[in-house]
Amino acid sequence: MRKRPFHVLPGFGLTIGYTWVYLSVIVLLPMCALCLKAGQISGEEFWRIITNSRSLAAFKLTFGASLLAALVNAFFGTILAWVLTRYSFPGKQVMDALVDFPFALPTAVAGLTLSSLFATNGWLGRWLVPWGVQGAFTPLGVVIALTFVGLPFVVRTLQPVLACLEPEVEEAAATLGASRWRTMGSIILPTLFPTILTGFALAFARAVGEYGSVVFISGNLPYKTEIAPTLIMMRLEEYNYAGATAIAVVLLVVSFVLLGLINYLELWAGRFNK
């Protein structure tokens, strides 16, 4: 008779039960409550809420700015993770700690700080505004805030993978005559591509739901710098729960579709690399 393996920690039954209970309370129940609330709205009313001009303008800015911020973070975050993983230099620990700064800093404080920096009389704004670069109270300010809060997701996702990427692979490619660009394009980037996609998806999902850091730097101008989470808050303050619920459901559905697409691309890229 084959003996069951002994584990010091609790086994699968207890841990999977705890996992389902925890996820149900923290994630599934709130989402189910949101969907049930949305189910009380008629289809015609739901469509009217999400397709009026103000909602469409908010969706356009939210998803457009989130996409642009995630792309910027995917590019520059990859470079930053590479530098922090592969090189040693004075101040490396300080730079590495600064990556987590958006995690520790309250989002409202981040919004106030960014708006002060990029305002017309701010430290950066006084130099940028004369060149036509208006960072505060414009869509550019929204992108700046979303880039700020999303950067750690890309860097921290890539760092463990880069640490496990053996330099000997690059040395072998160089020995076989491959140039640095050939090594980067044929070996390193295909290996990192699924992880970059994961960081991109996390940064995008974080940006779509961001509120605190955007509310100050954007100015919340309807049809111009108003994002969907801000519109949700305004509808709640007006006790328009149907309007807030309908907008929230759109954000939820789009985020789920994007995350599902990214997961599929990760699986495809993983099979392709094998």
What average pLDDT does range 187-213 have in this prediction? 86
Q: 183 pLDDT exceeds 60?
A: yes
Question: How many percent of the chain have pLDDT more than 70?
Answer: 93
Q: 176 pLDDT exceeds 80?
A: no
- Distance in angstroms (rounded) separating the CA atoms of residues 156 and 66: 19
Q: What is the pTM of this model?
A: 0.85
Q: 10 pLDDT exceeds 70?
A: no
Count other Cβ atoms within 10 Å, centred on residue 226: 23
What average pLDDT does range 36-61 have in this prediction? 89
Pick from 238, 193, 253, 189: nearest CA to 59: 253
Residue with the bigger pLDDT between 27 and 168: it is 27
What average pLDDT does range 9-25 have in this prediction? 78
- Distance in angstroms (rounded) separating the CA atoms of residues 152 and 234: 29
- Distance in angstroms (rounded) separating the CA atoms of residues 232 and 59: 11
Q: What is the pLDDT of residue 172?
A: 76
Average pLDDT, the chain: 84
The pLDDT tens digits for 130-169 are 888 888 888 999 999 999 999 999 999 999 888 887 777 7
Q: 180 pLDDT exceeds 60?
A: yes
Q: What is the pLDDT of residue 227?
A: 92
Q: What is the pLDDT of residue 8?
A: 58
8 Å CB contact between 63 and 253: no
Residue with the bigger pLDDT between 1 and 214: it is 214
Q: 16 pLDDT exceeds 90?
A: no
Which superfamily does 33-273 belong to?
Answer: MetI-like (1.10.3720.10)
- Phi/psi zone of residue 222: left (φ > 0), alpha (ψ -120 to 50 degrees), beta? beta
Q: 31 pLDDT exceeds 60?
A: yes
CA distances from 245 to 58, 118, 237 (A): 15, 33, 13
Q: 209 pLDDT exceeds 80?
A: yes
- Distance in angstroms (rounded) separating the CA atoms of residues 249 and 175: 54
The pLDDT tens digits for 157-168 are 999 888 887 777
What average pLDDT does range 44-62 have in this prediction? 92
The pLDDT tens digits for 73-109 are 999 999 999 999 888 889 889 999 899 888 888 888 8
